[in-house]
Structure 1
């Protein structure tokens, strides 16, 4: 049997250590120096807290059972735990827990190294008591630790029963309430002599532990729990589960499980269309980046109105697109001639990032996959947008206040519950929350509103349909959190079922989506109906020559004078537009559309704009006179130089061009040779936001490493352990002492010292004295506190005090 926890870790098989690293990934982030460092980290409070957050309700109850049955030496046994989980004698309505369920829970606690030792001598890692508190199962401390009078009372069962039976109803109610847990209560500093609390304290049934605080002794609490057992009601299976552990929701399975996939596919297609419309609107009119780093409320409302969605949905689309790398921050431009003083820089703006163009040209299923996976893994909580922070300031979209490190774990847990339901079955939100609370009771406490937001967002993204998890949503969940396939796919890029370069989840969705269409229906009222998702080339053409009116499975667009003029500005001719509609339309092109194109084309380019500061010319003197007399153009300050030429001294060419177009004219720019400049304007793209590019990964995610890689890490730790143990020799200097260097080494040293205090094991400490000299000492730590380590020197048996900030490293001897 291992004498210390460190020896226990060293004695584990490589396979067991690899499974430990997979279950507790924080143990190797960052990688410890050796197995001693791994053991120290496994006992640290932070790592134990994360491990406890993984336990379900029953596993936590069994852990409390082990803590409750420990003897004064800190040992329990599996038989003792089985005895107190057997249920209440003679109570048929209290379900009995099977021994196999208890053994399975203990086995899981051992795999996580929260419990160690043999079945006859189980021990709990010390940090578990620090995290869970001194009251296992909601029971108080033993009477012997609280009061001698109380110990004498509980040591006499007959006297204890008589005292309990004589308690007034009000006093008995206080006992019953504290027996349920927690066993401590608050009262006035000096309760009235006739109060129930004073009656109980005077008879030793409650112990005053501090002014205004009382505690119920453990033995009395267990006596009051005679109807349910010492641990209270146990929960070996999730809510609504059968004896076999399989979930049995109230709702019957849907008659057609494919209905969820069909509904989800429709939502997925709508998500992609709305995101594309959002990014297009953001490219046409970028949003200003606030000094705090987020997007202003006005810009969010403008984008929401443009896309035709609510502000909360607009915030979700922006956050997901940002997490997918489709939104960037463009630095402000300074304008001015060479050698001249430039104009002040404007504010930075949110724009579509360079990756947007590639995303927009991908297939519909591929674009959905990019967005859905980004949502699943992003450490952002869009539901916080529009709420108030701790300083009562409004939280904006894309602001740093929206970051929540636990957001991916929430999505993983909630969707994981949906994944356990039979295909096509949609548990209610309350059922999902109950299952989440059983699976991760510590982690889920206080997260009910967030879990409900996850369910709503999953429906919006098409991961769920009619409340049930879709088949491709389940595939995406597996792809995102399962380790990659071995050698042929070390990065986990491909997945089972992948086709045409798409991951498996996207390939399944592609089978459910309608085929992209390459033709449209042009109506007599100049509306253009697209009977399905357009292929990328058709979508680009429609964006240029039409105005969108509605989105969905079948979108509607409209041809207007402005859209035709926009196409002519991009270099199309009237013949090109006639040919485009003739080629793309299944129906005959309406005569009205042909007339509109020809009418706009005749006026297009009648006015030419160049640079003087800016000039305007036309062969049509009447048109020039009309422009000069137009009061709407007074702000640009036009002046006639010749019958066919006007000059603008107060506005640039681009401003003059925009002002004339707003007034209903159709001017075009020209180059110095007099040739028309007809090109589609390039939309400025922004680099991906550095804040997102360096965003931390999900700290609570399962470790996505293949088994050979984990075994390799274990082998490296064993090799380092052997090397470090060989170097541990008495003598001065860092070369013969504990490792030296960096904040990480100091943090690991603190964890090792804390472990050594608990295990009473010798440690070699690296230390820098007041003169800057490095030394190494073999000591046995006694206590850590107030910034100092107190330890006994192994050679001289004297007590030394070391300042913690001067300790450079520590390694456990043995």
Structure 2
């Protein structure tokens, strides 16, 4: 009989209720794939260093402190009583030991707790930052060690304090000589002479475990390491948080729209290695008047949302897709939701752009180096922590990083802290977080409530205004977000000078001519400012519109290849005398008409650059707008998601039940008493009549039979079952299972 003191992990797993075993397999998914043959196989798999390391990734600092303290006490070699654990810890967290047992990282009763030997490999040679035990100091006891420490000087105590915080080893030339205390001069020599340091080789010394524990006050970890840090909260009204978030969302949408317009007119090239070049990124940042970090986030968002993609030309470029037009037609809350959802699920980390890769090359936006399949998990983990706080409560990035680090110090790798800070920066830019707190729209988005998120953002966004303020210096102020139709009409006749909650436009001769080129008339422009301005329209603006309209279209072009017509023969002669006429190969075909072999748009551009103000005319006599409308390519969905590797989903209850049944069946087979074993001859063509006869006899007599079986994965297992029918190449059992006869390697009746 197995005693408690020698309880193995396999024995402990066999003693677990089925529900507890299912919980273990759910928490440690790697143990269930493929299903283990029995508890011995499950125990072996759970005790490997890789599996132990994965299980420790989700443990908090307090639970990790318990398992490290157990290693310090030698629980990987000899079971340790919980009383000894309480001696080494200030206070054993009540949930920690239970958590370790539920994960099979520790097992056994309170008087004999054991941990897997592989845990020492996972935590390194110095668990809890303590060195190896010194037999001499262990025999002396804690009081004698304290007496020796009381005799050391300040310089020696400073060295001990450094080593006691870990790691407990140091390199020094003073380790080469062994001097008595009277002859020792340096701190290392004195501590070696007192026995408070141990020489490992001629250049290495180590602080013994007993000394390290004494310097820590007689415990392995103090209370500070076992308690979750409290988050200092900055209280705000939730309405203020939502208003700030809405302001950031408006800026994001404005920049995203400007980016798509820019790429429509002049798509940037795709680098040969993929991604967007540094020069193109800087050009975009200057054009939008933002920093490169925000520009990187924007390009990742529009591509991640499927609004832009690389075309398939021989010289590929980043071009807006057909989804752009429908996105631009959405209300602001809908446009925000598209970008916010794309960011939350984006398997990439835009914050890594600008760094260096393994080849010391700059990591550029939209490149494969930014792909991180775990990025959505990191974002949700950080935002879920904010969702735990009271409404309107904000925290700083440093405090959030400290809390997440305590909750899972072994998770995230070297970039963990930077990734959390990037999440806060990016979520602030998106309006998911503001003032350090989760916005109402961000909370709904995190919960998967898309309609609720859009409604919350619509509620927080400022209401569109239907009026403008025209000023005497030809500037136009929009006191808030304009209605879509009004915004389009104002942007056609004025240029944005500064943007924000109140947008400043400027009307100039160029902008008025642009409006007239697009087919608008002077009367329409007068009507726009007269009806929509809450301030009197200055005469200077009216004069500017009339003056440009008077000169606009005096030269009218048509499509032959292209032609110019002018009723003023003197003006036409002036055009023909310019250098532009030679470049365009203008030729007079009538007193008031000249033609050119070049496209009309190019003819008009060259003449405008020469100081003339021609206009394009269509077959119906109306003014034509020849400006390019921007390129579009078919949308191909979110390419970033398509390339994401398939994730292993959570295991279902039915699958767990099947695995537990599989393990229990293997355990039962392993402990069953077998009669004479009939083995199938190797080769596949031998006579199997003896095996068939044995199985048929068991089916007729309703007796249990033990079989050796090789599954479809090639894994050999054992089963105890009751056959009910043998035939057609199958063995059917009383539980409805079917086993192909050609996979049964051996069989025996189970004896009582």
TM-score band w.r.t. shorter chain:
0.7 to 0.9
Q: 1:276 maps to which residue?
A: 257
Aligned match of 2:33: 32
Q: Which residue of 1 is the match for residue 59 of structure 2?
A: 55
Aligned length: 671
CA distance in 2, matches of 1:566, 1:582: 20
Matches within 5 A, 1:151-162: 151=135, 154-157=138-141, 161=145
1:287 counterpart SS class: coil
Q: How far apart, CA to CA, are the structure 2 residues paired with 1:39 and 1:563?
A: 77
Cα RMSD, aligned residues only: 4.7
Q: Give the alignment of 1:295-694 within 5 angstroms.
A: 295-332=276-313, 347-405=315-373, 407-443=375-411, 447-476=416-445, 478-479=446-447, 492=448, 495=449, 502-523=450-471, 525-574=473-522, 577=525, 584-585=532-533, 596-597=544-545, 600-601=548-549, 603-604=552-553, 606-610=555-559, 612=561, 614-618=562-566, 620-632=568-580, 634-649=582-597, 651-667=598-614, 678=625, 681-686=628-633, 687=635, 691-694=639-642
Instruction: Give the gaps of 5 or more residues in structure 2.
Output: 180-185, 671-677, 686-707, 719-752
Match of 1:128 in 2: 119
Q: Which runs of 5+ in 1 are unaligned?
A: 88-96, 144-150, 242-246, 333-344, 480-491, 496-501, 737-762, 768-773, 780-814
Identify the range of structure 1 (228-237 vs 58-67) with the bigger mean alpha-carbon deviation: 228-237
Distance in 2, Cα, partners of 1:634 & 1:131: 80
> With structure 1 as the length reference, what TM-score do the two structures score?
0.69
Paired residues for 1:695-710 under 5 Å? 695-696=643-644, 710=652
- Going from structure 1 to structure 2, the CA distance change for 1:684 and 1:715 (only over 3 Å counts) comes to farther
| CA 1:175–1:299: 2 relative to 1, 3 Å | closer
- 2-structure distance, mates of 1:594, 1:38: 86
- After TM superposition, the structure 1 stretch with the greater mean CA deviation from structure 2, 159-168 or 176-185, is 159-168
What is the distance in 2 between the residues matched to 1:125 and 1:176? 31
Contact 1:617 1:644 in 2 (8 A): yes
1:180 and 2:165 are equivalent in the alignment: yes
Deviation at 1:674, TM superposition (A): 9.2
CA distance in 2, matches of 1:10, 1:661: 90
Contact 2:130 2:209 (8 Å CA) reproduced: yes
CA distance, structure 2, for counterparts of residue 43 and residue 349 of structure 1: 52
Q: Which residue of 1 aligns with 2:653?
A: 711
For 1:212 and 1:106, locate their aligned partners in 2 and report how far apart those are by CA, in whole Å. Answer: 39
Contact 2:265 2:628 in 1 (8 A): no
Using a 3 Å threshold, how does the CA distance of structure 1 residues 778 and 56 change in structure 2: closer, same or farther?
A: closer
Aligned to 2:13: 8
1:141 is aligned to 2:132 = yes
Partners of 2:664 and 2:622 in 1: how far apart?
79
Aligned equivalents of 2:21, 2:423: Cα separation in 1: 34
Q: 2:470 touches 2:477 (CA, 8 Å); kept in 1?
A: yes
Checking the alignment, whether the CA contact within 8 Å between 2:174 and 2:189 is kept in structure 1 is no
Determine if contact 1:533/1:554 at 8 Å carries over to the other structure: yes
In structure 2, the residue matched to 1:238 is: 228
- Name the residue aligned to 1:795: none
Per-residue deviation, 1:289: 2.1
Q: What is the alpha-carbon distance in structure 1 between the residues aligned to residue 11 and residue 564 of structure 2?
A: 85
Contact 2:75–2:114 at 8 Å: present in 1 too?
Answer: no
Q: Which residue of 1 aligns with 2:702?
A: none
- The answer on 1:261 being equivalent to 2:261 is no
* Partners of 2:49 and 2:118 within 8 A in 1: yes
CA deviation after TM superposition for structure 1 residue 273, in Å = 1.9
Q: 1:354 to 1:463 in 2, by over 3 A?
A: same
Residue 690 of structure 1, CA deviation: 6.9
Secondary structure of the equivalent of 1:441? coil
Which region of structure 1 is more displaced relative to structure 2, 377-386 or 294-303? 377-386
- Tell me the distance in 2 between the aligned counterparts of 1:277 and 1:674: 33
> Does the CA contact (< 8 Å) of 2:378 and 2:420 recur in 1?
yes
Using the TM superposition, give the Cα deviation of residue 514 of structure 1 relative to its aligned residue in structure 2, in angstroms. Answer: 1.7
Deviation at 1:676, TM superposition (A): 6.8
CA distance in 2, matches of 1:158, 1:586: 85
| CA distance in 2: counterparts of 1:308 and 1:580, whole angstroms | 29
Change (3 A) 1:191 1:15: closer
Q: CA deviation at 1:364?
A: 2.0
Alpha-carbon distance, 1:210 to partner = 5.6
Q: Are residues 447 and 628 of structure 1, via their aligned partners in 2, closer, same or farther at CA, if it must alter by over 3 Å?
A: same
Indicate how the Cα distance of structure 1 residues 676 and 63 shifts in structure 2: closer, same or farther if over 3 A, else same: same
Cα deviation, 1:594-619, whole Å, max 9, x if unaligned, reads 5555555552383314354x554555
